[in-house]
Structure formats: structure tokens, C-alpha cells
């Protein structure tokens, strides 16, 4: 129980760091300087007002100085990361306890950035690639993970070539291809195929709903990276 709480706290702190990444990476701001500040009035936030989750609740979701609303996204990312860490502690064994919490919360980070900005930041991508590679080595079944990577990559290249021949249009970005290759390295052969399948379904569903709401637009962008990452986390958990 006590150790579980410790993992929750570690997740909250890591989630707070992820908030910095989500806000700063798309704007190309350094993740170290300047210090944490209010996005409205730019005043520095003192450390005692920067406690994950607690500060948001104590300040009732408003900046201490300018009283502007603080986005609910901040405490939500912290809470979800905390929960992912606790879940990891309760559900997995050995090396996976550490890797699942970190990889899934970094993927969550990509999901939010892609959803808001339609980009997959290359720095974040390489960080995840590096961690999934170590995870694959620790698993003592490196080949299984390498097969996943190769299958993800070749399946996608096949789809890309096929759609290019049929509709003469590139259906997804380069970032999506890199992401699927990395997810393959994390998930292995079967689970990466399931992830591609279900995230495509999710994409079609999302596209249908948005088209119903805002009208048909054949040039509408889809945050496919978000669907991929969220689906991959769920598929990883499911025991197959
Ligand atoms: Zn402010």
C-alpha cells in the first residue's frame, strides 16, 4: 500500500514534467529555462505553488496573480500519469513495472501534442525509441520485439505504397511511420498489428463524427499519432 502510494507520487511528479514537455516542445522553448510561469501573466510560479495536483486544487484552478483559469489539462496529465504508475506497480512484474509507467506516459504526451498541433516531436520520439530499446533488451526476448518493429514498418510501407498508387496521396505523415516502428519494438508482432487495426478504426470513427459535426472536408487532418498511442497503451495491457 505504502509502496503503491510512493509510485503514485512519482507519477504525479513525472506528470508535472510531462506538462512542461507538452507545453514547451511544440513552441520550441527550452524545457529548463525559463522557470515555470503562468501562461497568461508570465509571472514565475514559486515552487510551493507548483506542487502537482495539490496546487491546482488549492488555487481553485486559477493563477494566484492574474486569476486567469489554469487549464484542466495540467492536473489531468498529472493524475493520469500518477494512475499509470500505480497501475504499472500493481499489474506488472520486474522490469516492466518501471518501463510501462514511463513509456505509456510519454506516449500520452505524444497523443496530446499530436491532437493539438498535428506533429510528433522528434526529440520525444527518440526518447521513447531509446527507452523501448532498453525495455526490449531487458525482456530477454529481443527478437520478438525486433520482429514487431519490422512487421510494423513493413506493413505500413506496404499500405503507403498501395494508397499512393490508388489515390496518389500520402495518407499519413513521416512521424506516424516512425511512431509505428517504435510501437512495434515495444509491443511485438501481433500486438502492433492489432494496434494499427484498432487505431485505424478509431480514426475512421473520429473522422465520421467530426464530418457529421463540421461537414465533409476531404483535406481534414487527422491526429493519427494520438489514436496509435492511446490504442497501443490499451493493447499492451491486454494479455493475449
Ligand atoms: Zn497569471
Where residue 83 falls among pLDDT bands split at 50, 70, 90?
Answer: very high
79 with 128, same domain: the answer is: no
85 with 113, same domain: the answer is: no
217 with 138, same domain: the answer is: yes
* 36 has pLDDT over 90: no
For residue 170, the model assigns a pLDDT of 67
For residue 129, the model assigns a pLDDT of 92
45 with 130, same domain: the answer is: no
Where residue 88 falls among pLDDT bands split at 50, 70, 90?
Answer: confident
Q: Comparing 167 with 209, which gets the higher pLDDT?
A: 209
CB of 173 within 8 A of CB of 222? no
132 with 237, same domain: the answer is: yes
Å from CA of 36 to ligand 1 middle: 11
Å from CA of 55 to ligand 1 middle: 14
Sign of the CA dihedral 176, 181, 183, 188?
Answer: positive
Query: Tens digits of per-residue pLDDT, 101-124?
Result: 899 989 999 999 989 888 888 888
Q: What is the pTM of this model?
A: 0.86
140 with 55, same domain: the answer is: no
Q: What dihedral angle (degrees, nearest 10) is formed by the CA atoms of 117, 192, 139, 131?
A: -10
104 with 222, same domain: the answer is: yes
CA–CA separation, 240 and 231 (whole Å): 15
Query: Tens digits of per-residue pLDDT, 185-239?
Result: 999 999 999 999 999 899 889 888 988 888 877 777 888 889 999 999 999 998 8
166 with 235, same domain: the answer is: yes
Domain boundary among 33, 61, 91: 91
Å from CA of 46 to ligand 1 middle: 12
Domain boundary among 41, 69, 91: 91
5 with 54, same domain: the answer is: yes
Q: How many domains does one find in the chain?
A: 2
- In the chain, the percentage of residues whose pLDDT exceeds 90 is 25
For residue 224, the model assigns a pLDDT of 86
73 with 107, same domain: the answer is: no
Angstrom CA distances, 148 to 188, 191, 238, stand at 4, 8, 16
Containing structural domain, residue 41: 1-91
Q: If you average pLDDT over every residue of the chain, what do you get?
A: 86
72 with 159, same domain: the answer is: no
**Buried b / exposed e along 65-88 (16+ C-beta atoms within 10 A):** eeeeebeeebbebbbbbbbbbbbb
Å from CA of 61 to ligand 1 middle: 11
Q: Of 86, 80, 61, 70, which is closest to residue 16 (Cα–Cα)?
A: 80
For residue 3, the model assigns a pLDDT of 84
**SS3 (DSSP) at 61:** coil
213 with 102, same domain: the answer is: yes
Å from CA of 8 to ligand 1 middle: 28
Query: Tens digits of per-residue pLDDT, 2-25?
Result: 888 888 999 999 998 888 888 888
Å from CA of 112 to ligand 1 middle: 23
Q: Of 223, 157, 161, which is closest to residue 184 (Cα–Cα)?
A: 157
For ligand 1, an ion, list residues with CB under 5 A: 38, 40-41, 63, 65-66
Domain boundary among 91, 125, 146: 91
For residue 171, the model assigns a pLDDT of 63
Å from CA of 70 to ligand 1 middle: 8
For residue 33, the model assigns a pLDDT of 76
Query: Tens digits of per-residue pLDDT, 110-160?
Result: 999 989 888 888 888 889 999 999 998 888 888 999 999 999 888 888 887
Amino acid at each position: 500500500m505504502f509502496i503503491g502510494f510512493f509510485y503514485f507520487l512519482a507519477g504525479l511528479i513525472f506528470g508535472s514534467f510531462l506538462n512542461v514537455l507538452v507545453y514547451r516542445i511544440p513552441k520550441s522553448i527550452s524545457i529548463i529555462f525559463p522557470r515555470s510561469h503562468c501562461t497568461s501573466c508570465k509571472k514565475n510560479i514559486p515552487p510551493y505553488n507548483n506542487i502537482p495536483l495539490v496546487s491546482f486544487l488549492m488555487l481553485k484552478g486559477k493563477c494566484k496573480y492574474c486569476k486567469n483559469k489554469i487549464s484542466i489539462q495540467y492536473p489531468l496529465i498529472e493524475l493520469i500519469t500518477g494512475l499509470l504508475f500505480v497501475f504499472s506497480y500493481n499489474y506488472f512484474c520486474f522490469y516492466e513495472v518501471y518501463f510501462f509507467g514511463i513509456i505509456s506516459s510519454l506516449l500520452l504526451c505524444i497523443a496530446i501534442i499530436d491532437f493539438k498541433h498535428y506533429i510528433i516531436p522528434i526529440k520525444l520520439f527518440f526518447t521513447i525509441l531509446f527507452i523501448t530499446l532498453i525495455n526490449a533488451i531487458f525482456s530477454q526476448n529481443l527478437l520478438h520485439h525486433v520482429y514487431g518493429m519490422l512487421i510494423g514498418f513493413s506493413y505500413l510501407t506496404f499500405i503507403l505504397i498501395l494508397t499512393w498508387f490508388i489515390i496518389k496521396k500520402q495518407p499519413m505523415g513521416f512521424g506516424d511511420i516512425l511512431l509505428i516502428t517504435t510501437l512495434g519494438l515495444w509491443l511485438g508482432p501481433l500486438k502492433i498489428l492489432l494496434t494499427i487495426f484498432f487505431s485505424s478504426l478509431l480514426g475512421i470513427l473520429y473522422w465520421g463524427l467530426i464530418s457529421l459535426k463540421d461537414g465533409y472536408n476531404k483535406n481534414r487532418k487527422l491526429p493519427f499519432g494520438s489514436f496509435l498511442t492511446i490504442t497501443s497503451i490499451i493493447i499492451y495491457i491486454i494479455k493475449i
